[in-house]
Structure 1
Amino acid sequence: MIKLTHIKKSIFLFILSNLATIPGIYAGDTPSVEGTKIYFVNIQDGDVFKSPFSVQFGLSSQMGIAPALVDWPDTGHHHLIINSPTPDPNKAIPSKSENHIHLSGGQTEWEVNLPSGQHTLQLILGDYSHIPHDPPVISEVITITVE
């Protein structure tokens, strides 16, 4: 019986320690620099494209780009949101979705392949653990058309 109790305690402590590392618990803990803007460099609202096309991302000079899991001050990495509402800034940006592209390597450009029709695009800067900064650095939503 002592072994079983020890095992239960071990399992409980394991679960508890892992819960403490869930990024959503710390949502918004990473500060952004006041005035930081994230934007699309080579596309604008209303543009028309043929797929595939390249999308370039810009970030004003107050902050820099770093890969995910690299916790450097005043940095983050891009997330491209396609045809989806703005993610909740108090939670980790969804990762298992074709509508949320995580540029975890610190990329500032991505090739997008979308079907014909209208599409919405938005950028959000995530911290080292894919959580928006506080306050969040989010672009305007733009609408493009793919022929």
Structure 2
Amino acid sequence: MRSSALVAAVAAGFVSVFVALAPGAAPADDRHPAPKDAYAYIGWPNDGEVVTGRFKVWLGLRNFGVAPSGVDKPNTGHHHLLIDVGVPPLDEPIPNDRNHVHLGAGQTETYLELPPGRHTLQLLMGDADHVPHDPPVTSKKITITVR
């Protein structure tokens, strides 16, 4: 009985390794590399800015390029605007909801309309599949007030 249990355990281990290495099952830490000096920034609004109604947000990058989602080109990605949230898990695709705005067409500006009050904005670049790079390419988190 012991030998059959051992054989079953070894077989299960081989199956686990095979499934983990199957095409399309990349390890969670297999993120696209980014230059260590790459960073994103919010060109406008500025930190501490007071805005009203619908306002434009323009985005920039240094030492990195913009490519639409689905385009897998080294040292490029597309912007994700994080609104009133922290940086999501770095080994998963960035969520797509009202707090995680995907600019997947390669946009470098967008318009926002937020409720009155204080809000935080931050950029996070995602690769062709919306996964953050390694190291992550982010902006400083800024705070704005909407009146």
Shorter-chain TM-score tier: 0.7 to 0.9
Per the alignment, residue 11 of structure 2 pairs with none
Q: Distance in 2 between matches of 1:20 and 1:116?
A: 47
Q: Distance in 2 between matches of 1:48 and 1:35?
A: 30
Structure 1 or 2: more strand by fraction: 2
Q: Which has the larger radius of gyration?
A: 2
- The residue type paired with residue 104 of structure 1 is G
**1:39·1:123 contact (CA, 8 Å) conserved in 2?**
yes
Q: Distance in 2 between matches of 1:68 and 1:105?
A: 6
Q: Distance in 2 between matches of 1:28 and 1:85?
A: 22
TM-score (norm 2): 0.80
Per the alignment, residue 33 of structure 1 pairs with 35
- The residue type paired with residue 29 of structure 1 is R
Q: Distance in 1 between matches of 2:100 and 2:35?
A: 24
Q: Distance in 1 between matches of 2:115 and 2:85?
A: 15
Per the alignment, residue 74 of structure 2 pairs with 73
* Alignment pair present for 1:83 and 2:81: no
Per the alignment, residue 104 of structure 2 pairs with 104
Q: CA deviation at 1:21?
A: 3.4
- The residue type paired with residue 94 of structure 1 is P
TM-score (norm 1): 0.80
SS of 1:59's equivalent in the other structure is: strand
Unmatched 5+ stretches in structure 2: 1-18
CA RMSD of aligned residues (A): 1.9
Q: Distance in 1 between matches of 2:95 and 2:25?
A: 13
Q: CA deviation at 1:91?
A: 1.5
Q: Distance in 2 between matches of 1:27 and 1:83?
A: 26
Deviations 1:109-133 (A, max 9, x none): 0100001100011100101100000
- The residue type paired with residue 75 of structure 2 is D
Question: Structure 2 vs 1, CA of residues 141 and 22 (structure 1 numbering), >3 Å: closer, same or farther?
Answer: farther
Per the alignment, residue 9 of structure 1 pairs with none
Unmatched 5+ stretches in structure 1: 1-15
* Alignment pair present for 1:21 and 2:24: yes
Per the alignment, residue 54 of structure 1 pairs with 56
- The residue type paired with residue 87 of structure 1 is P
